[in-house]
Amino acid sequence: MSWDDLASIEPRFHYAGERSRYIAFPLGGIGSGGLSISGSGRLVDWSIRNRPALQGYNGYSHFAIKAEKDGTLLDARVLNGPYDLNPSGAPGLRRMFDGFGHGANRQTLAGVPHFKSVDFYGRFPTADLVFSDPHFPGDVRLTALSPFIPHNDRDSSMPVAMFEFEIVNPTADALTYTLAGTLGNYGSNSGRHTFSQADGIASLQLTSTDSELPETQRGDLTIATDAEDVDHTDHHYRGQWFDDLAVYWKEFARPGRLPTRHYDQPRTSRHMSLQPEHGTLGARVSVPAGGRRTVRFVISWSFPKGDIYWAFRNKPDGVIPDKATPSWTNYYATQWGDSTASATDALQRWDSLADATTGFRDGLFGTTLPAEVKDASSATLALLRTATVIRLENGALWAWEGQHTNDGSCEGSCTHVWNYQQALAHLFPAIERTLRETELTYNMLPTGGLTFRQKLPLGSSFDIIGPCVDGHFGAIIKTFRDWKLSGDTEWLRRYWPQVKRAIEYAWSAENPDRWDPGETGILSGRQHQTLDMELFEPNSWLGSMYVAALLATAEMAEAMGDVALAEKAARLGKAGADYIDTELFNGRWFIQKIDLGDKSVLTPFDVGRNAGVLADGFMETYWSDEFSELKYQMGEGCISDQILGLWHAEVAGLGQFLDKAKVATALRSVHRNNFKPSLEAHFNPGRNYAYEDEAGLLIATYPEGIRQPMVAAPYAEEVWTGIEYMSASHMIMNGLVDEGMDVVRAARNRHDGSRRNPWNDIECGSYYARSMSAWQLVNAFSGLQADFVAGTLSFDPKSSCDYRLFWSAGQSWGELSLLGGQLTLSVKAGALQLSSLTVAGNTQSFAQPLRLAAGQSFQFGAL
């Protein structure tokens, strides 16, 4: 059986055989946590209880199907494909009976009849799986999704996973199929399982019988369906060993209905394999010969209170003290009363939620963008469905950098990591603005410095490391960007006092890092940054961030009526830009200007404070007596981030402030020196995110004739996708399309399913936030610039042929197309109001604002 819509999908997004081995496709809401579906159809990574739980299972939760004819069982199988983990063992619950050395993990149901093959079609935010087996009389297609609807942050935060199964009967006889969903009561040895039917929806809610659970452990899960004919096994048999699974399968793999088993009393013994209790809903459907039927299921969860389990540890890898910790309340818990409420809502509004979600998918994947760009920009959005992000009670986003297996990686919406992502600002700008609001409200020190890790509960304390340069100035640039994208000057006015204090901190006498005490526009002093150490002296990387922040401040100050600051910031910004252009350009790229042998550079900062993330003293950290040079500096190396601030400025709409020819030369140098078509000969003492015959963009290189520090900046030899996508998009924005695509293609070839999970870009942990810089690739190809303060929208498409491009900004998203000389701007969702529209230098101004609602378009006419 083939499905026409799947047959037409670009080959890159069809994963089969070895290309499905490492797939884990996240499902869930923004900030709700969730689960994933593997390339073989298994339900994995159940991170639903307010912390990561990667490489794990919720018991043996699964879907299964059986076929009957005239009271005879024809076949029964779990809707999984072949086992695709280590045959010697996978992560398990008990060292004595699970894990490496104990064979294929039984939670994967490797020992239960399953389908011979699965074809996986992944186009975030949906996944389609086609199951086939010569022994099963039928074909099954699963479409898995969770609502992901740009500019609709409430519905996109639903804690639900939606599964639509299409069953095709290819035989010459009518058959009865039972499609059943089994759900583990995650973390509950003794479950209270409640079946209910109302308004055409059957649901089985699972919660714990333990009345003594702490508030942060309380919650419930639900599996629900809107099928007309439903069986329910509220509890699986309570036994030991493998009794629950053994009895369940004997009862399922026989003709007839599923048994109704319900226990009113709590379980009196602990399951010896530490499995949770399980329950099953089964939907029975009759399918005529050659016919097809659809069955829908929803899995939902509600664990309202999260434990700030990391609150009292003294460092990221420190021991978590055994003491009571504070908590937070999930945003989703303020919108849906429990898991049954969200499951019911999802089923009742299935069509509208699914249509809006697939509308976004088709809008992006239906463009003429290169397949690798569609892949990178969409796949990296998946981390928003994982435990990397949290939405607090008021809807504000709080985030980790990424995830370790069972806890978060590097807390606090780290600004020098989250600086890079551009997805939320364009797809969910209301959520993005909460990052500015909480940062400016709770992260600002009395001196005006912005610490770069946010503590929970909000306002409870400051991070022990002070402001970092890239994060501090990034906050100012992003405030400017978010103001322009929203068009909300009153929003800017509310936070303007903090923004003003933040820029003034650069030259404040209270700034112990002495960034610009002489008010020159030139950044120097001690500069903490995303490589987790300090740079010293002027450099283009961080200096360009300062310049961009100054220029953003100048424009915001003018809008706020602060003429003096507007003039000062503009003057300093120009001076800084001129200095970078003239003093930090070596003819091929922009550099750090420092004498590595000058120990006196460090002296002003040797004040007894430990160095950055290290516990060592400052001078011993940054000075090497053995080599007589400073450590952890970039020097004259060619770094991929060398003009990061200019990228931010161009993204935000500030334009270019460096010499255009020098910028193009520098970006070409990054490609020529830092992009490696093969890493087989590359030495990397750090973390190996790319290696051997893989291609990648290095953080820093020292071409022949350039002095390399003996002890270079940490991570200099590594490959980070977040920087790859940023650099690639900057190249494309400046006309270097082929160079940029080399970088994007390399990153996505490493995430092809056979090497790594396409939906999990790693750095310091899984589902790493920096990778969402990939969204700027979409904007780079369209040349999108949006200023809703002025009511202007402009595009500079990187194509001379016909094209279809995706855009999203303000309160809407849509398509820009040039087909047969006809240029059309379409709004697919939301509403758009413009005073002028520019495409490729051609401007159309409107005497009265142009207003477009969803489904409407504007045609430029022939070009």
Q: pLDDT (tens digit, 9 = 90+) per residue, 1-20?
A: 678 999 999 999 999 999 99
- 839 in the Ramachandran plot: left (φ > 0), alpha (ψ -120 to 50) or beta? beta
Asked if 420 and 63 count as a contact pair (C-beta separation under 8 A), the reply is no
- The candidate with the shortest Cα–Cα distance to 316, out of 259, 211, 400, is 400
Looking at the predicted structure, is the pLDDT value of residue 862 above 60?
no
Query: How many CB atoms sit inside 10 A of residue 118's CB?
Result: 28
CB burial class (10 A; 0-12, 13-18, 19+) of residue 117?
middle
pLDDT, tens digit, for every residue of 660-700?
A: 999 999 999 999 999 999 999 999 999 999 999 999 999 99
Alpha carbons 332 and 349: distance in angstroms, whole number: 17
The pair phi, psi for residue 18, each rounded to 5°, is -65, -25
Q: How confident is the model at residue 611 (pLDDT cuts 50, 70, 90)?
A: low
> Could you report how far apart the first and last alpha carbons of the chain are, in Å?
45
pLDDT, tens digit, for every residue of 218-259?
A: 999 999 999 999 999 999 999 999 999 999 999 999 999 999
Asked if 162 and 146 count as a contact pair (C-beta separation under 8 A), the reply is yes
- Give the range among 94-103, 436-445, 702-711, 771-780 with minimum mean pLDDT: 94-103
Tokens of 822: 């006809």
- The candidate with the shortest Cα–Cα distance to 761, out of 775, 741, 779, 782, is 775
Looking at the predicted structure, is the pLDDT value of residue 281 above 80?
yes
Alpha carbons 423 and 431: distance in angstroms, whole number: 11
Asked if 759 and 809 count as a contact pair (C-beta separation under 8 A), the reply is no
Model pLDDT, residue 863: 43
- The candidate with the shortest Cα–Cα distance to 131, out of 152, 113, 148, is 113
Q: How far is CA 481 from the centre of its chain?
A: 20
Three-state SS sequence of 812-845: EEEEEEEECCEEEEEEEEEEEEEEEEEECCEEEE
Longest dimension (CA), the chain: 90
Q: Say which residue the tokens 């495409």 belong to.
A: 839
Model pLDDT, residue 641: 97
Q: Say which residue the tokens 């529209």 belong to.
A: 837
Asked if 126 and 95 count as a contact pair (C-beta separation under 8 A), the reply is no
pLDDT, tens digit, for every residue of 496-555?
A: 999 999 999 999 999 999 999 999 999 999 999 999 999 999 999 999 999 999 999 999
Q: How confident is the model at residue 615 (pLDDT cuts 50, 70, 90)?
A: low
The pair phi, psi for residue 117, each rounded to 5°, is -150, 155
Q: How far is CA 288 from the centre of its chain?
A: 43
Looking at the predicted structure, is the pLDDT value of residue 613 above 70?
no
DSSP state of 216: G
- The candidate with the shortest Cα–Cα distance to 522, out of 575, 590, 597, 560, is 575
Q: In the chain, pLDDT over 90 holds for what percent of residues?
A: 92
Name the residue type at position 153.
D
Q: In the chain, pLDDT over 70 holds for what percent of residues?
A: 99
- The candidate with the shortest Cα–Cα distance to 404, out of 763, 666, 100, is 763
CB burial class (10 A; 0-12, 13-18, 19+) of residue 680?
exposed
Model pLDDT, residue 610: 67
Asked if 545 and 648 count as a contact pair (C-beta separation under 8 A), the reply is yes
Residues in a beta bridge with 69? 72
- The candidate with the shortest Cα–Cα distance to 552, out of 516, 579, 577, 587, is 577
Asked if 230 and 258 count as a contact pair (C-beta separation under 8 A), the reply is no
Q: Which residues contact 844 (CB under 8 A, 6 or more apart)?
A: 836, 837, 838, 860
CB burial class (10 A; 0-12, 13-18, 19+) of residue 862?
exposed
Model pLDDT, residue 105: 87
- The candidate with the shortest Cα–Cα distance to 387, out of 372, 368, 369, 409, is 409
DSSP state of 399: E
Q: How confident is the model at residue 320 (pLDDT cuts 50, 70, 90)?
A: confident
Instruction: Provide the total of helices (H) and of strands (E) in the chain, helices listed first.
Output: 19, 38
The SS3 call for residue 502 is helix
pLDDT, tens digit, for every residue of 575-602?
A: 999 999 999 999 999 999 999 999 999 9
Q: Look at the alpha carbons of 430, 436, 439, 444 in this order and tell me if their dihedral is positive or negative.
A: negative
The pair phi, psi for residue 221, each rounded to 5°, is -130, 155
- Mean pLDDT, the chain, rounded, equals 96
C-alpha dihedral, 836 to 838 to 841 to 847, nearest 10° = -20
**Global confidence as pTM:** 0.97
CB burial class (10 A; 0-12, 13-18, 19+) of residue 471?
buried
pLDDT, tens digit, for every residue of 29-58?
A: 999 999 999 999 999 999 999 999 999 899
H or E, element range at 281: strand 278-287
Question: Measured between alpha carbons, how far is residue 174 from residues 64, 132, 387 in Å?
Answer: 20, 19, 45
Name the residue type at position 459.
G
Looking at the predicted structure, is the pLDDT value of residue 205 above 50?
yes
The radius of gyration of the chain's CA atoms, rounded to the nearest angstrom, is: 28
Model pLDDT, residue 612: 60
CB burial class (10 A; 0-12, 13-18, 19+) of residue 251?
middle
Alpha carbons 725 and 847: distance in angstroms, whole number: 39
The SS3 call for residue 142 is strand
Asked if 666 and 588 count as a contact pair (C-beta separation under 8 A), the reply is yes
- 362 in the Ramachandran plot: left (φ > 0), alpha (ψ -120 to 50) or beta? alpha
DSSP state of 382: G
Question: Measured between alpha carbons, how far is residue 552 from residues 438, 490, 546 in Å?
Answer: 20, 17, 10
Ordered DSSP codes for 451-492: BSS--SSTTS---SS-B-HHHHHHHHHHHHHHHHHHT-HHHH
